[in-house]
Amino acid sequence: MQALIDVILPVFLVVGFGYLVVWGKFLTDSAIDGIMKFAQQVAVPCLLFNALAHLDLSSGFDPKLLLSFYSGAATCFFIGMFAARYVFGRSWEDSVAIGFCALFSNSVLTGLAITERAYGSGDALAGNYAIIAIHSPFCYGLGITAMELVRAREAGTSMARLPATVLKAMFSNVLIIALALGFLVNISGLSVPATLQGAIDMMVRAALPTALFALGGILYRYRPEGDLRVILFVCALSLLLHPAITYSIGNFAGLPEAGMRSAVMTSAMAPGVNVYIFASMYQRALRVAASSVLIATGLSIITAWFWLTILP
């Protein structure tokens, strides 16, 4: 119970403040969109750049950590996609979008925030940043590839342009660009000038609270409407199956304690806002994506608490 009060609830109270100010009409949707744009396009990229630029790559990028997390993520994607098609009778394009909902955990806004509050910063977050470093490239790469394959098959068109389509979509994402720049600074051994580093540090301190607050405001507009069986299925994959697979593989592979914490807590998070962005890109399963983010974010208070009691 103490973990729920001290670690999880403060994070979700910030989300709740964002929800309440929009509900009470203190801020408009456009104002919240502006705050989220600042967080996602400026502050969070600074956070990711800074983390990867200073990350100990030899210890952070543990193959057992990445195998544990991404095996669970990929499994949930394919189960979600094929279940949407063959159990719920959705079109293939809808099914890919639904699979993406089960694939993309909210690794930064809630995963990073809860892990930091529970276990501290520094080395405790090395596993989180290793996961985040390839999270968007992996998830968008898998989701876009699957969607473009489905669309090409249904349209009977050539798939020769598929690699260019995937790469263009991925590297127009500012988060991926920030991660790539941070990685280049890290391996090059370059140091960021002190004045610039000071400005980046200020942005880093603003990143998570600003993003969490904006997430709450955005969630207010996501009303659960219909598709309840599919939405609950996505929630079960994201909140139950993914962390269970990650925990099982991590135990079997002998994943160190810090890595296990990072991998399991990140995998236990709800789908991130990126699932709605992906659905919007293709105008498929928008209602499922939006409602999955809202409902799973609320339920993740319980699942995160559960895993905090299980983990050492």
Q: What per-residue confidence (pLDDT) applies to 159?
A: 65
Q: What is the CATH number of domain 2-310?
A: 1.20.1530.20
Q: What per-residue confidence (pLDDT) applies to 241?
A: 97
Q: What per-residue confidence (pLDDT) applies to 3?
A: 53
Q: What per-residue confidence (pLDDT) applies to 247?
A: 96
Q: Which residues of the chain fall short of a pLDDT of 50?
A: none
| Segments making up each domain of the chain, as ranges | 2-310
Each residue's pLDDT tens digit, 19-29: 899 999 999 98
Q: What per-residue confidence (pLDDT) applies to 96?
A: 96
Q: Is the pTM of this model over 0.75?
A: yes
DSSP track, the chain: -HHIIIIIHHHHHHHHHHHHHHHTTSS-HHHHHHHHHHIIIIIHHHHHHHHHHH--HHHH--HHHHHHHHHHHHHHHHHHHHHHHHTS---HHHHHHHHHHHH-B-IIIIIIHHHHHHH-SGGGGHHHHHHHHHHHHHHHHHHHHHHHHHHHHHHT---TTHHHHHHHHHTT-HHHHHHHHHHHHHHHT----HHHHHHHHHHHHHHHHHHHHHHHHHHTT----S-HHHHHHHHHIIIIIHHHHHHHHHHHHT--HHHHHHHHHHHTSPBPTHHHHHHHHHT-SHHHHHHHHHHHHHHHHHHHHHHHHH--
